[in-house]
Amino acid sequence: MPPASSPSTAAARFTGRQVTGERPLSASLTEVDLDDGRTVMVKRGEGTGAARAEAAGLRWLAAAGTVRIPAVHGDDERWLVTDRVALGRAGAGAADRFGRDLAALHATGAPAFGAAPPGGPEDAYIGLAPMRNAAGDDWPRWYAEHRVLPYLRRAVDAGTLRAAEATDVERVCERLPGLAGPPEPPARLHGDLWSGNVLWGADGQVHLIDPAAHGGHRETDLAMLRLFGCPHLDRILAAYDEAAPLAEGWADRGGVHQLFPLLVHAVLFGRGYAEQALAAARSALRRAP
């Protein structure tokens, strides 16, 4: 069956309901009203396989039965249709629960670092940037090879980072075995856990959207939350640490884990993020053993 031709036809196909209205929210996201009174979200994938990768990630995260995830109604090569999250206010109780639920999500694990969600493609996305899910069993080596260095090379090729500056990030990659902290098993990551993907629902619970899900180090999700901020962040992290204690020094390792999203943003949005990535790399090197 060919991909649907519009948000409304995608919603009708995957829900089996008639459409009564639609409201574009952005170039890629549309709210669609159905004849049974529900409203669904229809997202257009911005790259080949992007919609399928996101759908697989949502299903994998939902299968853990921990953090709330919008139900997936269907997807094809172009469109993804999910439930809409009714929004409410960010509350302390919801933050505490989210911290505990996020710890439980991570603990459900993954087959390997870089493992794609079941049914998800190896060639996936984080936001608008391609992201390859290639499996590995050693986090420092895998993180350098498949998360940091590909985006560093793209930033240098685009002129966003100078080759001489890139050596600081390369030195961090060389020293990752000593910077990574104690070994941990692969966690089931959301993968793009910035505050815009953390929705505070009207039901008093946190819902997560727009994942770049894969097997990774649990501190990476926490570092992303800290990088871009989040309401009640201190409560979230405290509840997480109480439910699943973090290894000593985890907060000091945040810059190492932030290199990945900062370099992705440098590739997508330019020099300002490249400078933040360099600052994170140099800070990590000052603490290197």
Together in a domain, 145 and 287: yes
Task: Assess whether 72 and 201 both reside in one domain.
Answer: no
Q: What pLDDT score does 46 carry?
A: 81
Nearest Cα neighbor of 105 from 186, 31, 10 is 186
Task: Looking at the structure, tell me whether residues 101 and 241 fall in a common domain.
Answer: yes
- 166-196 confidence digits (pLDDT tens): 999 999 999 999 999 999 999 999 999 999 9
Number of domains in the chain: 2
Whether residues 92 and 49 fall in one domain: no
Query: Which residue range forms the structural domain that includes residue 66?
Result: 1-84
**Same domain for 270 and 239:** yes
Contact 116, 133 (CB under 8 A): yes
* Amino acid at the residue 231: P
- Shared domain for 126 and 255, answered yes or no, is yes
Q: Examine the domain organization and report whether 52 and 128 are in the same domain.
A: no
- Flag whether pLDDT at 137 surpasses 70: yes
Q: What is the pTM of this model?
A: 0.95
- Section 42-61 average pLDDT: 93
Say whether 267 sits in a helix, a strand or coil.
helix
> Residue 135 is encoded by which pair of tokens?
């499996």
- What pLDDT, on a 0 to 100 scale, did the predictor assign at position 1? 65
Q: Which of 27, 62, 84 is the last residue of a domain?
A: 84
Summary mean pLDDT of the chain = 96
Does the structure show a pLDDT above 90 at 141? Answer: yes
Confidence band, pLDDT 50/70/90 cuts, at residue 47: confident
Same domain assignment for residues 151 and 17: no
Burial of 159 (0-12, 13-18, 19+ CB in 10 A): exposed
For residues 287 and 181, membership in a common domain is answered with: yes
- Look at residues 105, 48, 36 and name the one whose alpha carbon lies nearest to residue 73: 36
Residue 193 vs residues 56, 174, 196: alpha-carbon distances, Å: 17, 26, 8
Query: How many other C-beta atoms are found inside a 10 Å radius of the C-beta of residue 76?
Result: 18
CATH number of the domain bearing residue 33 = 3.30.200.20
Residue ending a domain, choose from 55, 84, 113: 84
Counting Cα atoms < 13 Å in the Cβ hemisphere of 197 gives 21
- Structure tokens of 18? 């008639």
Q: Give pLDDT tens digits for 71-129.
A: 999 999 899 999 999 999 999 999 999 999 999 999 999 999 999 999 999 999 999 99
Q: Which of 63, 84, 105 is the last residue of a domain?
A: 84
CATH number at residue 203: 3.90.1200.10
Q: Which of 33, 192, 210, 221 is flagged as catalytic? A: 192
35 is catalytic: no
**Whether residue 43 is found in the same domain as residue 131:** no
Do 110 and 180 share a structural domain?
yes
Same domain as 18, residue 131? no
